[in-house]
Structure 1
Amino acid sequence: MAAAGTCFLPGVSSPLFRREPPQLHGKLNPARTQSMSPRFAMSVDRVPATLVAAEKGNTVELKREEGGAEEIDKRWEEKEEKQRRSGWKEYLEQATDLIVGDGGPPRWFSPLECGSRLDNSPLMLFLPGIDGLGLGLISHHQKLGRIFDLWCLHIPVADRTSFTDLVKLVETTVRSEYQRSPNRPIYLVGESLGGCLALAVAARNGDIDLVLILANPASSFSKSQLQLLIPLLEALPDSFSPALPSILSLTAGDPLRMVLDNFVKGLPLQNTARELIEDFTTFSSSLPVLADILPKETLLWKLKMFKSASDYANSRLYAIKAQTLILCSGNDQLLPSQQEGKKLYKLLPNCQLREFDDSGHFLLLQEGSIDLVTILKGASYYRRGKYLDYVSDFIPPTPYEAKEVIQSNSLITAVTSAVMLSTLEDGTIVKGLAGIPSEGPVLFVGYHMLLGLELVPLVSRILLERDILVRGIAHPMIFRKEKNGRLPEVSSFDTFRIMGAVPVAPSNLFKLLSSKSHVLLYPGGMREALHRKGEEYKLFWPEQSEFVRMAARFGAKIVPFGAVGEDDLGEVVFDYDDLMKIPYFKSEIENLTKEAMPLRADASGEVANQQVHLPGILPKVPGRFYYYFGKPIETKGRKQELKDREKSQELYFEVKSEVERCIAYLKEKRESDPYRSILSRLLYQATHGFTSDIPTFEI
């Protein structure tokens, strides 16, 4: 990593910071606003070229660095895993360098790791928690630095700026940057105390496009036993300085509890002290650093600020209209964060909630389990303009993220043991996916299995074998939910959005094809995925061609495909017709469908019956999934021809007939597959190795 010069802090020489940051994009002049003292520095490192598509904002084939795909994937995963697991260790190392000779007023800095980034990247301001150092995102710096202009607020240990003055400082920066880029959102990431700061700034600046990311916000301080530490610290003699950090640095585990118990024996603070050390002892090996970060006077000042900050933020919640994402821990020993997260979720109008049941108070430093960029991708909270564009704002998953998503669905992949067939340009059917076009735009058009079970193996195999990310056109219920609604939580579909799903809309199909993406489309939609008894492999497509002329406009190749195997996993025994005969279920279905924003309401026939319900399914001994991708249909050069309604309708029926032919072919051929049953597949793997490819029928 390139770094030069010295830290601006008096008497400190550190490779972490530089006196004057480079003038990237012409907006880093520290003298621009009074609230900005000289910032630390920005790295000049380049963005790793593992995913070139990420820099361009499109979804074409995921191109890799030189050196071989497997080698690059391994290097990238090791690098990303190292970043994710550095957490506390790196925090404490850099904190030691930062606080030596620290002085002066609060100011912004930009981490060295944050160098090259996407064009028009939004500004992200990190507002720290009780420590005030501004290093709370340290394990996220590199990934955030690729897609954000990241600034972190540093509050020196000896600084005694009041909460209201901190609000004004952040507000000055927000307003200055808003005037420079009024069409670009500004992200406020607030951790603990910083969460109150973010809420306060948002309440005072409703006219600015702010996105709040709140990690265990301290707006719940009045409900926390942590406030009982204030009288304890006030009662400590000055000779006991630096107070609690000194106590915590004595030892860890049970001996520490004994010392603390003896010290506060008989006081109502005993449980509070115990809970406090649950989070602090995570990094007990370096606890002496806490004595410098939080001496008695500073800790007492910060705890009193917690109270004023909480009161200030709570009294202004009604004024907050900003888009908000709340991250709350279920094992926070300092604040009742999970309860507070649910409270804020109900009160704030434009809000989503993500819960982390096993995480403690220091959520963003949680080793190995929390990745802020991945969370933002999954929640669809990354945008570079006033409105989210699901195509231009999409950041393709890194190999590590894709691997995590695929592994989270490994059970269905293993159980179904998918067979993939494709068709070459000369019409030859081959095993594997060699017949799938490498260059986009490509439009996959096929049959939607029961509950969409075919999606996971299909997208995973194309990504693993061809390094192609398929963007799915999905139902809007995956992207929005009424707060008091009965649909599944939006967080249930985070992995879909990480992998590039977009809401069904002509404009999104237009953008995807114009960006040369590989797009997955199911004309039958929910009517196929939630079909009735006896309707397996029956297509429910609209009468009019909805995608042919769009494909022709961009010269996209249409790849019809069939998928079978749903009837080898389960059988529908209680369907929509049965449910509608029961008044309770009928009312539930009507309410769910209305909440999910009905599609094709102006259409006729069965395809318009996109009712949201869950059929009763009787499981079977698992069979196998089969996919057959037909010969790509070329539309390039046929734009004028397919403007004619009759011509486009002919091609539409040709695609539909090809999908039905692919399904019929698979239904016939699977009868001769000796490994159609999971029992025969398990026996084969037991004798040939569990990583071996399982044979299938002869083509």
Structure 2
Amino acid sequence: MDKEDNNTHVLHPREAMASVIGVQVLPFFMSNSENKYWNRVQVRSLSNADSTVLSSDSNVVNGTSIGGERGRAGTLIDQGNGQLMSKIEEKKRVKDDFLETLKPLWDDGYGTETIRDFFDMAKDMIKPDGGLPRWFCPVACGRPLKNSPILLFLPGMDGTGLGLVLHHKALGKAFEVRCLHIPVHDRTPFEGLVTLVEETVRFEYASSPRKPIYLVGDSFGGCLALAVASRNPAIDLVLILSNPATSFGRSQLQPLFPILEAMPDGLHSAVPYLLSSIMGDLVKMATVNIESRLPPGQRIERLSRSLTGLLPYLSGFVDVIPKDSQLWKLKLLKSAAAYANSRLHAVKAEVLVLSSGKDNILPSKDEGQRLMNSLQDCVVRHFKDSGHNLLLLYSLFPAILLWENKLTAPFAVMVQEDGIGLLTVIKGTGKYRHSRRLDYTSDFLPPSTTELKYAIDQVTGLLSVAAGSIMFSTLEDGKIVKGLGGVPNEGPVLLVGYHMLMGLELIPLVEGFLREKNIMIRGLTDPTLFSRMFESSSSDFSIIDWVKVFGAVPVTATNLFKLLSTKSHVLLYPGGSREALHYKGEEYKLFWPDQQEFVRMAARFGATIVPFGAVGEDDIAEVVLDYKDLIKIPVVNDFIKDANHNAIRVRDEIKGEVANRDLFIPVMLPKIPGRFYYLFGKPIKTKGREDILRDKQVANQLYLQIKSEVERNLTFLIKKRQEDPYRSIVDRTLYKALYAPSHEVPTFEL
């Protein structure tokens, strides 16, 4: 056993009878109480599926055991007093300490770590210790939610395992995060690294066979993840690949590699500047944690200070990857790409590829297309303005794009991110789950404060400003009040209302409930938005993904059942897409089916039904070409038919006008924006109403009452908005300029 230094000891695999890897907790993570890292130790066997567990009386130095005996498989956790126990026993003891759920607008920690933190940590991580690759758990991740799946991070060329530093706190709520550290001077061949990760995967699978295991591979780590997945098709793996290095053979820098090998040591100091593109755009990295809403002058000043502070770190990049290690890693990368590419056909795992449009190292955009075509279950999200290392960028100067990308963009505003919030992307693409099948109820994570702020400021900001939404609700005594005070706080609650043109009312409605009542609305949505209909290798992280982040669920009886059973606030539009994609002259007309299906479901759970109306679409845009007009145009007619060929039919048994639900995008003429108005009617309680379940006629009467209430709310708002002196965006803008930007603009008197 080697003694690494005065503070840290590690049990090396080659020195133990059971070929055990002792996961060293490096000095950076334990010497300073101000560092936010949790000392956790895992002992794993490379020789077989068994693991070695150190006994409770093993010696522990700063969280690292230096002795022990063979025992039951498990993960060791240092509680800070030298007491160690198996993972299973520890989980039983702290069972009550785990959070069950997250509340809406939770703190995800984005902006608290920057690229400087990466370099500071890397300086300590690269110090030679003579050790082999090992796992570590960043303390910044904290304690995850109960029954969270495990996430294994597989690093890129640097091997530090710190590539998720900007995402530790957010990911730590949703996953048990472990990061692979490959020491700079380690010469373990690719097959050896595959074995290490594979043994860990198999151990975790044996411990929790019903949970998925997430492998996040950055560049080189993407090859490693694919290799492990190809060898373990029976294990439920979810692969998140950030610019995977499977395209290494087509790298733009291939001609430079022979020069690097022949470069004298005296010129090696120039290599960091040549290879800085490995880390992506340094200017973009410097902008992390700089508020995008600051005035241009202040933003430039802060960017200048941040960039100046980063330049000294760049010269230290040579220490992160010295010349001899660079040459070894290039050979390792070559073998990794060849190994992974030869086994793509065997990968059965669910794969999400994140590709960059400005990757100066690898042809990542083309590789995303190739992997999407080669792998059995693969989706791609493309970030066209980002460099190679997506994971060290987050939410930087996004550009808002309107009306593009075929059928999907007109649903709302599209966003192109320069950076990436990894957990947000995982949620938005429907990849976060606790078991083999995604459960839209139990697997949902509410949006964080950062996600709400980003969505409102950058994704839907123009609509939010243009709408100037104002909400009213009705108390138990029938009195209409401003705000959402009349909507019950306790669920289950079923909000039933009119679906505006293009669903424009959704964004202000969800935002309003989050801001005023901190309640997450779960909207039942057309299942087509959850299909692969809109997927391509150039798909941006679009408004459709953001809809999923903010709680949208495919509209099915099963999902409504689950949501009501968990006492959620559920949003339902009986008119569905027929109302949202209505024809000319059909504003505020309801297209509801004859069946009262949702009434009986609500009564089964004693849910409170709140009918509501929303108006304002005719103050935003005017439909000039609707479905009847578009199908008369031959080319457009063919496009609509193709787009609807594979569309999911929610209720094929429904007859009449509401059954006419072919998806299409009406041609609209924008107007000078008016205002959105919402009125939530008097709550209708179904608790104790067994007669609704027994008698269909009673259920139908309640159904007609709800429909009538929605129509009454619409009529009330259409009439009263004429009395609003601030209905026009011009008047609202002047009011804010004279008073305060954050001051709520008044409306009509009740």
What range describes the TM-score normalised by the shorter chain of this pair? 0.7 to 0.9
- Cα deviation for residue 574 of structure 1 reads 1.2
Does 1:376 find its partner at 2:399? no
Classify 1:653/1:179 alpha carbon distance in 2 versus 1 (closer, same or farther; 3 Å).
Answer: same
| Alignment correspondent of 2:162 | 135
Does 1:327 find its partner at 2:354? yes
Does 1:660 find its partner at 2:716? no
Does 1:166 find its partner at 2:193? yes
Classify 1:109/1:522 alpha carbon distance in 2 versus 1 (closer, same or farther; 3 Å).
Answer: same
Contact 1:279 1:333 in 2 (8 A): no
Separation in structure 2 between the aligned mates of residue 455 and residue 325 of structure 1, nearest angstrom: 28
**Count of aligned residue pairs for this structure pair:** 638
4+ aligned runs moved over 6 Å, structure 1: 10-13, 35-45, 483-490
- Cα deviation for residue 582 of structure 1 reads 3.0
TM-score w.r.t. length of structure 1: 0.85
Does 1:515 find its partner at 2:588? no
Match of 1:542 among 568, 589, 593: 593
Q: Secondary structure at the match of 1:135?
A: coil
Contact 1:133 1:155 in 2 (8 A): yes
- Cα deviation for residue 583 of structure 1 reads 3.3
Contact 1:43 1:112 in 2 (8 A): no
Classify 1:230/1:622 alpha carbon distance in 2 versus 1 (closer, same or farther; 3 Å).
Answer: closer
One-letter amino acid of the structure 2 residue matched with residue 82 of structure 1: T
- Cα deviation for residue 693 of structure 1 reads 2.3
One-letter amino acid of the structure 2 residue matched with residue 247 of structure 1: A
After superposition, give the CA deviation of every residue in 1:363-400 in whole Å (9 maximum; x if it has no partner): 21225532211111111211110011111011111112
- Cα deviation for residue 570 of structure 1 reads 1.9
| Alignment correspondent of 1:302 | 329
| Alignment correspondent of 2:220 | 193
| Alignment correspondent of 1:617 | 668
- Cα deviation for residue 674 of structure 1 reads 2.2
| Alignment correspondent of 1:82 | 112
| Alignment correspondent of 1:226 | 253
Separation in structure 2 between the aligned mates of residue 200 and residue 159 of structure 1, nearest angstrom: 20
Mapping for residues 80-229 of structure 1, pairs under 5 Å:
80-83=110-113, 86=114, 88-229=115-256
Does 1:651 find its partner at 2:674? no
| Alignment correspondent of 2:687 | 636
TM-score w.r.t. length of structure 2: 0.80
Mapping for residues 280-429 of structure 1, pairs under 5 Å:
283-366=310-393, 369-407=419-457, 408-429=459-480
Separation in structure 1 between the aligned mates of residue 653 and residue 431 of structure 2, nearest angstrom: 31
One-letter amino acid of the structure 2 residue matched with residue 500 of structure 1: G
Q: Secondary structure at the match of 1:287?
A: helix
After superposition, give the CA deviation of every residue in 1:152-182 in whole Å (9 maximum; x if it has no partner): 1111111111112211221222122212221
One-letter amino acid of the structure 1 residue matched with residue 336 of structure 2: A
Classify 1:301/1:378 alpha carbon distance in 2 versus 1 (closer, same or farther; 3 Å).
Answer: same
| Alignment correspondent of 2:638 | 587
- Cα deviation for residue 43 of structure 1 reads 8.8
Separation in structure 1 between the aligned mates of residue 25 and residue 599 of structure 2, nearest angstrom: 65
- Cα deviation for residue 148 of structure 1 reads 1.0
One-letter amino acid of the structure 1 residue matched with residue 112 of structure 2: K
Q: Secondary structure at the match of 2:111?
A: helix
Contact 2:46 2:195 in 1 (8 A): no
| Alignment correspondent of 1:268 | none
Contact 1:42 1:114 in 2 (8 A): no
After superposition, give the CA deviation of every residue in 1:46-66 in whole Å (9 maximum; x if it has no partner): xxxxxx9x94348xx74x8xx
Classify 1:34/1:425 alpha carbon distance in 2 versus 1 (closer, same or farther; 3 Å).
Answer: farther
- Cα deviation for residue 640 of structure 1 reads 5.0
Match of 1:688 among 739, 744, 749: 739
Separation in structure 2 between the aligned mates of residue 223 and residue 422 of structure 1, nearest angstrom: 60
Separation in structure 2 between the aligned mates of residue 382 and residue 178 of structure 1, nearest angstrom: 17
In the alignment, structure 1 segments of 5+ residues that lack a partner are 19-26, 46-51, 65-72, 253-259, 261-272
Q: Secondary structure at the match of 1:451?
A: helix
Separation in structure 1 between the aligned mates of residue 693 and residue 362 of structure 2, nearest angstrom: 62
Contact 2:252 2:363 in 1 (8 A): no
Classify 1:686/1:492 alpha carbon distance in 2 versus 1 (closer, same or farther; 3 Å).
Answer: closer
Classify 1:512/1:586 alpha carbon distance in 2 versus 1 (closer, same or farther; 3 Å).
Answer: same
One-letter amino acid of the structure 1 residue matched with residue 100 of structure 2: K
Classify 1:13/1:114 alpha carbon distance in 2 versus 1 (closer, same or farther; 3 Å).
Answer: closer
Separation in structure 1 between the aligned mates of residue 52 and residue 254 of structure 2, nearest angstrom: 32
Identity, in percent, stands at 51
- Cα deviation for residue 98 of structure 1 reads 2.1
Classify 1:43/1:91 alpha carbon distance in 2 versus 1 (closer, same or farther; 3 Å).
Answer: farther
Separation in structure 2 between the aligned mates of residue 439 and residue 174 of structure 1, nearest angstrom: 41
Structure 1 window deviating more from structure 2 (572-581 vs 625-634): it is 572-581
| Alignment correspondent of 1:494 | 545
Structure 1 window deviating more from structure 2 (31-40 vs 303-312): it is 31-40
Q: Secondary structure at the match of 1:225?
A: coil
Q: Secondary structure at the match of 1:353?
A: strand
After superposition, give the CA deviation of every residue in 1:128-154 in whole Å (9 maximum; x if it has no partner): 111112111122222212211112111
Separation in structure 2 between the aligned mates of residue 358 and residue 402 of structure 1, nearest angstrom: 23
After superposition, give the CA deviation of every residue in 1:6-35 in whole Å (9 maximum; x if it has no partner): 5445999725059xxxxxxxx975146658
Classify 1:287/1:587 alpha carbon distance in 2 versus 1 (closer, same or farther; 3 Å).
Answer: closer
Contact 2:135 2:178 in 1 (8 A): yes
Does 1:607 find its partner at 2:607? no
Separation in structure 1 between the aligned mates of residue 550 and residue 729 of structure 2, nearest angstrom: 28
Q: Secondary structure at the match of 1:642?
A: helix
- Cα deviation for residue 672 of structure 1 reads 2.0
Separation in structure 2 between the aligned mates of residue 427 and residue 490 of structure 1, nearest angstrom: 43
- Cα deviation for residue 280 of structure 1 reads 7.2
After superposition, give the CA deviation of every residue in 1:624-674 in whole Å (9 maximum; x if it has no partner): 111110000001111454332111111111111100110111111122222
Contact 1:487 1:592 in 2 (8 A): no
| Alignment correspondent of 2:27 | 14
Contact 2:45 2:52 in 1 (8 A): no
Contact 2:611 2:709 in 1 (8 A): yes
Contact 2:603 2:693 in 1 (8 A): yes
One-letter amino acid of the structure 2 residue matched with residue 387 of structure 1: R
Q: Secondary structure at the match of 1:124?
A: strand
Separation in structure 1 between the aligned mates of residue 452 and residue 744 of structure 2, nearest angstrom: 22
Q: Secondary structure at the match of 2:139?
A: coil
Contact 2:280 2:389 in 1 (8 A): no
Mapping for residues 42-81 of structure 1, pairs under 5 Å:
55-57=99-101, 62=104, 76=107, 79-81=109-111
- Cα deviation for residue 679 of structure 1 reads 2.7
| Alignment correspondent of 1:30 | 43
Classify 1:446/1:367 alpha carbon distance in 2 versus 1 (closer, same or farther; 3 Å).
Answer: closer
Separation in structure 1 between the aligned mates of residue 199 and residue 26 of structure 2, nearest angstrom: 30
- Structure with bigger RCO (C-alpha 8 Å, 6+ apart): 1
After superposition, give the CA deviation of every residue in 1:185-210 in whole Å (9 maximum; x if it has no partner): 11111111111111111122211111
After superposition, give the CA deviation of every residue in 1:577-598 in whole Å (9 maximum; x if it has no partner): 1222333333322222222212
CA RMSD of aligned residues (A): 2.9
Separation in structure 1 between the aligned mates of residue 385 and residue 662 of structure 2, nearest angstrom: 37
Separation in structure 1 between the aligned mates of residue 681 and residue 645 of structure 2, nearest angstrom: 37
Match of 2:622 among 568, 571, 596: 571
Separation in structure 2 between the aligned mates of residue 304 and residue 614 of structure 1, nearest angstrom: 51
One-letter amino acid of the structure 2 residue matched with residue 14 of structure 1: P
One-letter amino acid of the structure 2 residue matched with residue 56 of structure 1: E
Classify 1:15/1:200 alpha carbon distance in 2 versus 1 (closer, same or farther; 3 Å).
Answer: closer
Separation in structure 2 between the aligned mates of residue 155 and residue 487 of structure 1, nearest angstrom: 33
In the alignment, structure 2 segments of 5+ residues that lack a partner are 1-5, 12-23, 32-39, 54-62, 65-75, 81-95, 286-309, 396-418
